[in-house]
Chains A and B, each alone.
Chain A
Amino acid sequence: MKVLWLQSGGCGGCTQSLLCHEPRPLFDELRDAGIEFVWHPALSPESGEEALAVLEACADGSRAFDVLCIEGAMLRGPNGSGRFHRLAGRPLTEWVRQLAARARHVFAIGSCTAWGGFSANTPGNPLEACGLQYDVEEPGGLLGAAFLAGDGLPVVNLAGCPTHPGWIVDTLEKLACDGLTAADLDEFGRPLLYAEQLVHHGCPRNEFYEFKASAEKHSDLGCLMENLGCKGTQAHADCNTRPWNGAGSCLKGGYACIACTEPGFEAPGHAFQQTPKLAGIPIGLPTDMPKAWFVALAALSKSATPKRVRDNAVEDHTVIRPSVRKGGK
């Protein structure tokens, strides 16, 4: 399976993250799964004219490829000219339209590419930035809501900022192994293999969440939902069951999930590290949870919080250990 990769209005972080693939080195893993890069801007030997020849052959159909991976927002400005990003004198948006028409499958790598990301959320959007098939959460984007790749699927949105290496490698391998269908994607075109979970699932702060024992300041051990802006109960991704960099996740790192897989995460309408509240209750409640139930449960669990959990929540290390019972009871 041949993969052509291009970068545009993004930071390159999804590629840098991809290179962290484990347990096997990225290139070995892909090669043995029958996956190769036709060209990748950061990783391929061809430069300048040789690279252009590859891109032109892919664009005019004389060189076949399977998957078009785009990393970065589509910059249509200024004034629709695409001049905020040109490749060999031509707007990158033009290259992407041509290549997408030739691709069997089109992948948006990262939230910039899927929804437009930070570039699209500068006030007034002077960059005229958008995602491949979305303007934030509205279908459309560069390719238009009706776009279907050669395989009959819309753009597959590997959203995340950055993407986890496993999301990309597993999706490519799923495609190479037994194909992708609409049933493999959620309502926003994200692969269910990582987007059918919530970040909350497997959260290491679970016990603090259960008792609504909340962190009050940075480095506290408690739950980050009530005060510090955490959206793990609303964000679709498997970050706490699929470790980042061996042992990490945002929550394990001590800071809020800012829901970077969701459209519009970059402009939440409040400070990232503060939870907006109405009458003392967080506005963003857990997915699928009726407000009245949440309020009732929170009141009950707060009243039942063990001292150990309550005290540890506002410290940066465990000050009261779980008690040890003797006699196996």
Chain B
Amino acid sequence: MTRIVLGPFNRVEGDLEVQLEVAAGQVQSAQVNSPLFRGFEPLLIGRDPADALAIVPRICGICSVAQSAAAAAALADLAGVTPPPNGRLALHLTQATENLADHLTHFYLFFLPDFCRPAYVDRSWHADVVARFAAQRGSSVGPWLQARARFFHLAGFLAGRWPHTLAIQPGGSTKATTAAERIRLLALLREFRSFLESRVFADRLESFATLADADALSAWAADNPGDLALFLRLAGDLRLERIGAGAERFLSFGAYGLFPAGSCGGDLAVDPLDTGKIVEDVSHAWLAGDAPLAPAVGETLVAADKPAAYTWCKAPRYGGAVAETGALARQLIDGQPLLRDLVGRHGASVTARIVARLLEVARLLPAMESWAQALRPGEPFCLPAPLPDTGAAVGLVEAARGSLGHWLSVRRGRIERYQIIAPTTWNFSPRDATGRPGALEQALVGLPAGEGALPIVQHVVRSFDPCMVCTVH
């Protein structure tokens, strides 16, 4: 048995190290280490509750809006306020802008450059992949950055800037879109659709979004000139649709009123979400605590010398089960046929996770167009949301990478407790007190590793699109 440490594991958001025990060229067990601790939960304690809106986006530079949305949802819950229709639409648009940009930033900048490695030089697709996807210089990188920068003009109009906006409030949005700006928003969405339909999908979004099963997907990719199809062809060659299954459950808090909340197991039968089933275990984190705690009563207390610990990340569990969250979970719980077919055949996989993100891009952009259409300048964007001096509340949202929850309590007008469970806390969780490994830790077992192995481990780790700064926060 040899031990390999993969770190710094880059092209993820934040810091990551993965430790593998390898025998006979295969991973026998894995430990995922989140090596950075910043202590956002303790620093929120004692603050004015509304200050959370300025603080929590700064947990994460790539899921900033999702963090804002979770805090705003928790404070709206505390205030007992529902934003007006314009406020809800503006939030959906801002959150979806970040969501789609994150999915494609992952695709182009974080995930695809690994297929340019010399290990694949004898593959038929290698030269084409290097030409398009090489880090910083591939022919698809510049056009993506340009499209991304233009797409984020939506955030400029709707939220002042990205990342780190204060526009998202419990009562709605501080920015009331004008009639002139609404026309600009629609034009920006048209421009982004054009980028997607020319370079990413080389097809109408609606055509891709209605592919029914894995066979239809293969047929679609066979002679399509777009970037996604090139990935699908190389993924077929490497059989990535059979690699990377991890957790026993999928979890979604539901998003945009389009994708429902729930959870499902390997049989893909969906149960309603029960947040009472969520606990966090700290047995393998450098944090103090005994029994697993529900986040409403959770704590974050440093214990840097704890012997059994190997990460700063807590281990969330859903009814005792290890859960995977993200675009794939959202789409499975929504019953999306193509992904149910892919996962039904081979379980969760690298290919399924990538297809789920791109499918979400194809499904959400038309929704964004309809939300921008539905904005009614002149009608309210924000309602007053006075906060009570005492109370407890929960904000549940879906970030690009999956389920994000904020649990807070307020006493005498100050934050008394604030606990956050982020998507990658689920996906990159360490072992729990029963010794059960987290989702990625399970997904890595059995993969080729060590001298001369193909970089499959790299693909599986990045297929989760980890956000490490959110993970520990």
Where the two chains meet, the residues of A that have a C-beta atom closer than 8 Å to any C-beta of B are 7-17, 19-22, 24-28, 31, 37, 41-48, 51-52, 73, 75, 78, 81, 83-88, 117-119, 121-123, 126-127, 161-162, 217-219, 221, 243-256, 258, 260, 266, 271-274, 316-317
Residues of A close to B50: CB separation below 8 A: 271-273
Q: How far is the CB of B90 from chain A (nearest CB, A)?
A: 10
Given A122-B39, A244-B161, decide whether A219 and B61 contact each other with a Cβ distance below 8 A: no
* B 377-398 to A, binary, CB cutoff 8 A, 1 in contact else 0: 1101110100000000000000
Residue of chain B at shortest CB distance from A26: B145
The 8 A CB mask of B357-386 against A (1 = contact, 0 = none) is 000000000000000000001101110100
A42→B156 contact, CB < 8 A: no
Quick one: which of B39, B58, B160, B172 contacts A250, CB cutoff 8 A?
A: B160
Residues of A within 8 A of B166 (CB): 250, 253, 255-256, 258, 272-273
Q: Answer whether A9 and B176 are a contact pair too, CB < 8 Å, given A118-B43, A162-B61, A316-B380.
A: no
Q: A218-B382, A255-B160 are in contact. Are A84 and B37 (CB under 8 A)?
A: yes
Q: Does B226 contact A (CB under 8 A)?
A: no
How far is A46 from B135 in the complex, measured between Cα atoms in Å?
10
Among B17, B54, B382, B469, which residue has the most Cβ atoms of chain A within 10 A? B54
As a 0/1 sequence over residues 458 to 473 of chain B, the CB contacts with chain A under 8 angstroms (1 = contact) are 1000000000010000
**B residues less than 8 Å from A7 (CB atoms):** 14-15
Assess A28 versus B142: contact at CB under 8 Å? Given A12-B61, A37-B136, A46-B10: yes
27 CB-based A-B contacts, threshold 8 Å = A8-B36, A15-B61, A16-B163, A19-B145, A20-B162, A25-B149, A75-B38, A83-B304, A85-B37, A119-B38, A119-B43, A122-B42, A161-B58, A162-B163, A244-B162, A245-B152, A245-B155, A245-B162, A246-B150, A246-B156, A250-B165, A254-B167, A254-B176, A255-B174, A272-B48, A273-B53, A316-B380
Q: Would A87 and B43 be within 8 Å (CB), given that A78-B304, A271-B48 are in contact? A: no
Q: How far, in Å, is A237 (CB) from chain B's closest CB? A: 12
Residues from 87 to 142 in B contacting A, C-beta threshold 8 Å: 105, 109-110, 113, 116-117, 134-137, 141-142
Q: Given A8-B36, A254-B176, A258-B54, is A13 in contact with B161 using a C-beta cutoff of 8 Å? A: no
Q: Which residue on chain A has the smallest CB distance to residue B136?
A: A27
* Residues of B close to A161: CB separation below 8 A: 58, 164
Q: Of B1-9, B239-247, B268-276, B431-439, which binds chain A?
A: B1-9
B320 within 8 A of partner (CB) = no
Q: Are B174 and A84 in contact (CB under 8 A)?
A: no
Across the two chains, which residue of chain B brings its CB closest to A13?
B61
Q: Once the chains bind, are B142 and A27 in contact (CB under 8 Å)?
A: yes
In the complex, A22→B149 CA distance in Å?
7
**Any A CB within 8 A of the CB of B62:** yes
Assess the B304–A17 pair: CB atoms within 8 A.
no
- A-B pairs, top 10 by smallest CB distance, nearest first, are A253-B160, A13-B61, A248-B156, A245-B156, A254-B174, A246-B153, A244-B161, A25-B145, A316-B176, A219-B382
Contact B39 A218 (CB under 8 A): no
Quick check: A13 and B169 within 8 Å, CB to CB?
Answer: no
CB distance from A49 to the nearest CB of B (A): 8
Q: Does B40 contact A (CB under 8 A)?
A: yes
Additional pairs, 5, CB under 8 Å, beyond known A88-B5, A123-B46: A13-B58, A247-B156, A254-B167, A272-B53, A272-B54
Kindly report which residue of chain B lies nearest to residue A127, judged by CB atoms.
B39
The CA of A88 and the CA of B6, in the complex, are separated in Å by 9
B15 contacts A245, CB within 8 Å?
A: no
Q: Smallest distance from the beta carbon of B245 to chain A beta carbons, Å?
A: 23
| Given A25-B141, A271-B50, A19-B105 contact (CB < 8 Å) | yes
Chain B residues, CB < 8 A from A162: 61, 163-164
On whether the beta carbons of A11 and B59 are closer than 8 Å, the reply is: yes
> Bound complex: CA of A253 vs CA of B173, how far in Å?
9
In the assembled complex, the Cα of A17 lies from the Cα of B178 at a distance in Å of 25
- A13 near B36 (CB under 8 angstroms)? no
Residues of chain B within 8 A (CB-CB) of A88 are 5, 7-8, 17
Complex Cα distance A22/B160, Å? 16
Q: Which residues of B contact A247 (CB under 8 A)?
A: 153, 156-157, 184
Across the interface, do A253 and B167 meet the contact criterion of CB distance under 8 Å? yes
* Contact present for A219 and B174 (CB under 8 Å): yes
Evaluate whether A45 and B176 lie within 8 angstroms (CB atoms) in the complex, with A27-B136, A84-B37, A118-B43 already known: no
The reply to whether A218 and B171 contact each other, CB–CB distance below 8 Å, is yes
Contact A42 B174 (CB under 8 A): no
User: Does B11 make an interface contact (CB < 8 A)?
Assistant: yes
Decide yes or no whether B302 CB sits under 8 A from chain A: yes
Q: Is the CB of B62 within 8 A of A48?
A: no
Given contacts A11-B58, A118-B58, contact A45 B13 (CB under 8 A): no
Query: In whole angstroms, how far apart are the Cα atoms of A290 and B267 in the complex?
Result: 71
Q: Closest A-chain residue to B176, C-beta based? A: A316
Q: Give the shortest distance, in Å, between A21 (CB) and chain B (any CB).
A: 7
A319: nearest chain-B partner, CB-CB: B378
Shortest distance from the beta carbon of A119 to any chain B beta carbon, whole Å = 5
Q: State whether B163 touches A254 (Cβ < 8 A).
A: no
- Chain B residues with CB under 8 Å of A44's CB are 10-11, 135-136
B156 to chain A, nearest CB (A): 3
- B40: chain A residues within 8 A (beta carbon): 118
> Would you call B207 an interface residue if the criterion is a C-beta within 8 Å of the partner chain's C-beta atoms?
no
Q: Give the distance in Å from the alpha carbon of A51 to the alpha carbon of B6 in the complex.
A: 10
Find A47's partner among B8, B53, B136, B178 (CB 8 Å cutoff): B8
A122–B48 Cα gap in the complex (Å)? 14
Is there contact, CB below 8 Å, between B8 and A52?
A: yes
Cβ 8 A contact of A127, one of B7, B37, B169, B171: B37
Flag whether B51 is at the interface (Cβ < 8 A).
Answer: yes
Contact A219 B173 (CB under 8 A): yes
A45 contact set on B, CB distance < 8 A: 11, 113, 116-117, 134-135
B437–chain A nearest beta-carbon distance, Å: 21
**Contact flag A85-B58 (CB < 8 Å), given A27-B136, A52-B8, A253-B174:** no
Cβ 8 A contact of A25, one of B142, B156, B157, B164: B142
**Highest count of chain A CB atoms <10 Å: which of B39, B42, B381:** B39
In angstroms, how far is the closest chain A Cβ from the Cβ of B11? 6
Q: Give min CB distance, A36 to chain B, whole Å.
A: 9
Which residues does chain A contribute within 8 Å of B113, judged by CB atoms?
A: 45
Min C-beta distance of A200 to chain B, whole Å = 15
Other-chain contact of B161, A14, A22, A221, A249 (Cβ < 8 Å) = A249
